[in-house]
A and B are shown apart, each in its own frame.
Chain A
Amino acid sequence: MGGDAGEERLARVRLNFFACNRCDWLLRLMELYGGAAPLLTRPAAELAAESGVALETADRLKAQTSACDPEKELRAAARAGATVLTGLDEAYPELLKKIYDPPLVLYLRGSLRAMPAAGIVGTRRATPYGLRTAARLSADLAAAGVAVVSGLARGVDTAAHEAAVKAGGVTWAAMGTGLGTVFPSENEKLAERIVGAGGALISEFPMDMGPWPSHFPRRNRIISGLSLATVVVEGGFESGALITARFALEQGREVLAVPGQVDCPASKGPNYFIKNGACPAETADDIIACFPPEYLFGVKRVRSAGARSPSEAALRDLSADALTAFKAIAGDEAGLTADEVTLKLAWPVQRSAAALFELEAAGTLMSRGGRYCRAV
């Protein structure tokens, strides 16, 4: 049977070249024919008739699957240090198997340890509040022994992965490209650190697949599918984060949302979910509390103090000027520029410069594009 299993495995990798674009009807056909290998032997007309798709689609399936070389693909994956998982493998994540259209093939770098996982998703154009919150939740989850799942995109995703790695925890990145490409490219180092920290890079796309716009929403079902609960940190109505949350709901998983200001466009999505019954995620505990009880073994209890303002001690060490400046800045979500601080406090520039330096050096403030805002 080893030969059959090996053949079936190759057939699945072959089929995945086409199936990674849409696969629910193929899964049904695989069930019908008893695997990918027999499916691939059938003529296009029969496949079209059985599944109800157009003949052209079936033709395309035949053309694409016969054009590819699954053995070469497996060698390429091995070279890149990636494991190839199919539904036949033990290591294929249980939770992901349970979703409506699990990926036919999973390419994996690093390890997918059996542990509870939570997705943290949000817009690429996050506000400082979103980044700060994503990072805090992620760090606390990682410290509690929960894997943080996200999409390796800019903004919230990056903040979540970064924080988990920094906290020494496990984080999984479900990528919208093949494992041979990191998109966006500035996250290449982050990707390596994720693997180095015992996390994983996961993709259903063939190794050398570049970034295609349609692939990103598709990989979102993997994020939610791997997670017991998905947290929407920030995102407008058309944001990909909301797609992930909808997948989570379809898959019967929990959706939480980080409450935001009502007049902030980036918080429209999460606030909408809360209005419709999603649990507000204020701390990592809120998220863990949503896990089904059988998954709670091994989850450590961390004291997550909620949205922290900088510790009393840190503030006590500041000079009076720095404290005044901090209070002026902390109230403004978008942050203030050095000029605005100067104006608001009616100080000479020297005085505000000294205060800002003190706050930035103390790590209480950070500056992004010239605006000072509360540091994470």
Chain B
Amino acid sequence: MLSKLRTLCLKGIDGREVSAEVYIAPGLPSYTVVGLPDAAVKEAKDRVVAAVRNSGCDFPSKRITVNLAPAEIKKAGTHFDLPIALGVLAAAGKFGKKAPARLGETFFIGELALDGTLRPVAGVLPMLLAIKGTGATAVVPAGNAAEAAVSGVKCLAAASLKDAADWIAGATELGPCLSPAAGAPAARPSRDLAEVKGQAFAKRALEIAAAGFHNILLVGPPGTGKSMLARRFSTLLPPMTFDESLETTKLYSVSGLSAAGRLLHERPFREPHHTISDAALIGGGSSPRPGEVSLAHNGVLFLDEFPEFSRPAIEALREPLEAWQVTVARVRESVAYPARFLLVAAMNPCPCGYLGHPTRECSCTPLQVQKYRARVSGPILDRIDLHVQLSAVKYADWEALPDGEPSAAVAARVSRAMETQRRRFSGITRANAFMSGVDLRKHCALPEGASAVLETAMNRLGFSARSLDKILKISRTIADLEGAADIKREHVTEAVQYRMLDKAAELSAAI
């Protein structure tokens, strides 16, 4: 007999409708899955057999063929267990000669345990979003109920294979998926910029980075608060919009990371260790998965000890930094994961870390320092607008330091500046960091005194023509933070401070 069910699969971060067909023919017992399944899908057989038997049904000892159509999409994941098991039951005649309407119209997703209970699976939200608005119903594992509720699709939560089978037969009803109690909002950010003492320039640079979507590099000896500042950076950004948080949650869902199935409200902050492989950083694998850059989508990617990352990993950042997405191309398929993140990188000024330290002596030779800094290649450095030097604070000074400004106050200025940019760039979400040459000429006209500043920076301090563009962009953001329509001289002189690695003298003087 033949049965046909509807289910879903993932292509990249988008869901696709898949139909699961099961045909049971007389003959020697066998079980074949066709339709481009991956290893996990093929393994479904053993789980399905055990789950069906342990749910009190017979597993037919016949020739079983499972087809997952359309055949050209690669099927990955364990969520085909439920539709296959139900298909087998249906084809074996469990629901009678004529299949109930519920069997053919509903989408089924779920992984089976050997005892027949349903386990939550990854990627429920993006899969369900594919059928949003069609009026269809889906049955999902109870463990995915909260996540499914976010999608807005009518979903029913089943605890086991038996529950689902009984519901199809009309013997029981399944409970709807509900959003978690609204009384449990996203935990308040427990960190605040005010906790970081001193480092006025670095804090200001972070404010500018947040406001203009500039990537930033923090350079400083160990213990100067690079990581502490970076971890508080997301508190300067405005909360995610609903669409942003849906996009980000989709990526987390695909990776099986969706925390308790909630919609993510806080901007993601990803902090991969420097031993990470390039594939783990940008995404990849034979069946592609989003990498850290995509998990940081709409949030912050913090790369501590930046030069220690492998060269391929650092170079791989070029695509997402430029195109805001990562394309993972494989022979079978090519998927694109969005990756629009703000890069916060941190590094020591030299291999030993103590160059420029007031009390510790640096033991590196200029050549070592040069080599260390060259590990961050030019093209990457070119995509980082702000570099700022952090310095160790002497204890005596540290005690006397005033408390910093709280994150909320900074965030308010950032929001205002972002609003200005939204208006300037005619509605499209663009920021000062992405201004093209044309935009620069249009929006970054300099007053008389300010162009002299740039000239001096070039002639006396050895800035390159390229860094002048960066200075202009930063100046624009500084002016926006202040609410000034035009860039003023002091905006430019401040912007110069955030390009420390451009100063020609910086290295040669480090003898």
Contact = CB atoms under 8 A, between A and B. Distances in A.
Interface of A: 124-126, 131, 154-155, 158, 184-186, 334, 337-340, 342-343, 349-351, 353-354, 356-358, 360-361, 363, 366-371
Contacts of A158: 511
Given A354-B489, A367-B503, 11 more contacts: A186-B370, A338-B201, A339-B390, A350-B490, A353-B490, A360-B461, A361-B457, A369-B355, A369-B389, A370-B349, A370-B356
A362 to B, nearest CB: 8
A192 to B, nearest CB: 16
Given A334-B358, A349-B204, A368-B356, A358 B365 contact: no
Interface of B: 198-202, 204, 219-220, 349, 355-356, 358, 361-362, 365-367, 370, 389-391, 393, 397, 401, 453, 456-457, 460-461, 478, 489-490, 493-494, 496-497, 500, 503, 505-506, 509-511
The secondary structure that dominates the A interface is helix
A100 to B, nearest CB: 33
Contacts of A371: 356, 358, 391
B260 to A, nearest CB: 41
Contacts of B510: 368-369
Contacts of A368: 356, 505-506, 509-510
A340 B397 contact: yes
B389 A353 contact: no
A48 B178 CA distance: 100
B405 to A, nearest CB: 11
A334 to B, nearest CB: 6
Nearest to B482: A350
Contact of A367 (B204, B365, B505): B505
A131 B200 CA distance: 30
Contacts of A155: 511
Given A349-B204, A353-B497, A339 B505 contact: no
A186 B367 contact: yes
Nearest to B357: A369
Contacts of A334: 358
29 contacts: A126-B511, A154-B366, A184-B365, A186-B367, A334-B358, A337-B356, A337-B391, A339-B200, A339-B202, A340-B391, A349-B494, A353-B490, A353-B494, A354-B490, A357-B453, A357-B457, A357-B496, A360-B461, A361-B461, A363-B460, A368-B505, A368-B506, A369-B355, A369-B356, A369-B362, A369-B389, A369-B506, A370-B219, A371-B391
A287 B356 CA distance: 32
Given A343-B401, A367-B505, A353 B356 contact: no
Given A343-B198, A370-B391, A353 B496 contact: yes
Contacts of B393: 339
Contacts of B355: 369
A338 B366 contact: no
Contact of A184 (B199, B367, B489): B367
B451 to A, nearest CB: 14
Which of A154, A338, A351: most chain B Cβ within 10 A? A338
Nearest to A334: B358
Ranked nearest first, the 6 interchain pairs of A and B with the lowest CB-CB distance are: A369-B356, A370-B389, A337-B391, A368-B509, A354-B493, A353-B494
Nearest to B510: A369
A360 B198 CA distance: 23
Contacts of B204: 349
Contacts of B401: 343
A342 B509 contact: no
A127 to B, nearest CB: 11
A361 B456 contact: yes
Contact of B500 (A342, A357, A366, A370): A370
A342 B197 CA distance: 13
A234 B500 CA distance: 29
A366 B505 contact: yes
A361 B460 contact: yes
B201 A349 contact: yes
Contacts of A356: 497
Nearest to B511: A154
Nearest to B361: A125
A159 to B, nearest CB: 8
A343 B397 CA distance: 9
B497 to A, nearest CB: 4
Contacts of B456: 361
A338 B356 contact: no
A337 B506 contact: no
B506 A367 contact: yes
Contacts of B489: 354
A337 B497 contact: no
B134 to A, nearest CB: 55
A348 B368 CA distance: 35
Nearest to A370: B389
Contacts of A363: 460
A109 to B, nearest CB: 23
Which of A342, A349, A351: most chain B Cβ within 10 A? A349
A160 B511 CA distance: 13
A78 B200 CA distance: 59
A340 B200 CA distance: 9
A185 B367 contact: yes
Nearest to B205: A349
A186 B366 contact: yes
B391 A339 contact: yes
A125 B511 CA distance: 7
Contact of B201 (A124, A126, A339): A339
A366 B201 contact: no
A180 to B, nearest CB: 19
Contacts of A185: 367
Contacts of A351: 490
A360 B365 CA distance: 25
Contacts of A349: 200-201, 204, 494, 497
B257 to A, nearest CB: 38
Nearest to B496: A357
A76 to B, nearest CB: 26
A35 B511 CA distance: 44
A343 B367 contact: no
Contacts of A124: 511
Nearest to B489: A354
A342 B201 contact: yes
B242 to A, nearest CB: 35
A357 B509 contact: no
Nearest to B207: A349
A154 B365 contact: yes
Contacts of A126: 511
Contacts of A350: 478, 490, 494
Contacts of A339: 198-202, 390-391, 393
B250 to A, nearest CB: 39
B14 to A, nearest CB: 45
Nearest to A363: B460
B365 to A, nearest CB: 6
A163 to B, nearest CB: 13
A311 B228 CA distance: 43
A369 B356 CA distance: 5
A133 B144 CA distance: 72
B494 A184 contact: no
A241 B274 CA distance: 42
B40 to A, nearest CB: 52
Contacts of B478: 350
B169 to A, nearest CB: 71
A131 B349 CA distance: 21
A258 to B, nearest CB: 18
A337 B198 CA distance: 12
Nearest to A351: B490
B49 to A, nearest CB: 66
A185 B370 CA distance: 12
Contacts of B497: 338, 349, 353, 356-357
Nearest to B365: A184
Which of A126, A154, A155, A371: most chain B Cβ within 10 A? A371
Nearest to A126: B511
